Amino acid sequence: MVELLLACCLVQLPLALAQQSPADPDQSKWRAIYQAGLVWVDPGHDVAHTAGYEFTESFNPETYERIAYVKIPGQSEPKAFYKYGRGITVALGHTRQIVLINDEYTTKLMRVVVANLADEETVDVSSQAMEKYQRDVKPDPRLIVNPEGYALSSDDRRALIRIDLTYLSVPTYEEAGEVKKLFQPRWYVVDTATGQILRTFSGHNPPSAWE
């Protein structure tokens, strides 16, 4: 999703990045997104099911804190695995030991986090990638870019993160078309335990062989 931040208003432009699940008869429910072998769900919209795991959310109206929970098959009670303030989407790892999280922690900023279900530790695995992108690409300040978790290796030890164009801060629609052309996409393979960058790729399409 790319949005135009204009002087008068915020306009959303659709961007086809992932395949949604078949239409839900209840259109108010958030639908799962299937992408690169992962199933992305939103725990804040009803109970989100994937591979027998149930993701839910609690919300404290006084502190605005949200807590994401997962109910593991065979366990009677859900366990908390992540605290946040706005909205997230989550994908259960292939080994069922970690959860990959896309966290929109402010209005226009995102981060990618890995939550370990065994020890409840969390790691921001996108900060090093964003620092490298800013250092190497030096994007135009009118381009607002963010990291997004895209895929996991079969053993969940590596994650593929893309740097995505999410907002254009421009005064007119006419300028938006020209500014958008300045965006340089990047893909980073990172260690899911540390966020260390292992490989870097250029191009709009995901790399065919990154594991």
pLDDT (0 to 100) of residue 12: 37
Q: What is the pLDDT of residues 96-138, one digit of tens each?
A: 999 999 999 998 899 999 999 998 899 999 999 999 999 999 9
End-to-end C-alpha distance for the chain, whole angstroms = 26
Boundaries of domain holding 94: 32-202
Instruction: Confirm whether 55 is domain-assigned.
Output: yes
b/e sequence 47-65, b meaning 16+ C-beta within 10 Å? ebebeebbbbbeeeeeeee
* Domain-embedded: residue 21: no
The identity of residue 107, as a single letter, is: T
Percent of the chain at pLDDT exceeding 90: 71
- Mean pLDDT for the stretch of residues 4-32: 43
91 assigned to some structural domain:
yes
In a domain, 1, yes or no: no
Residue 211 belongs to some domain of the structure? no
Residue 15 pLDDT exceeds 50: no
DSSP 96: S
pLDDT in tens, 23-64: 333 434 557 889 999 999 998 876 777 888 999 999 999 999
* pTM for the structure as a whole: 0.86
Domains identified in the chain, total number: 1
Q: How confident is residue 158, by pLDDT bands cut at 50, 70 and 90?
A: very high
DSSP state of 174: H
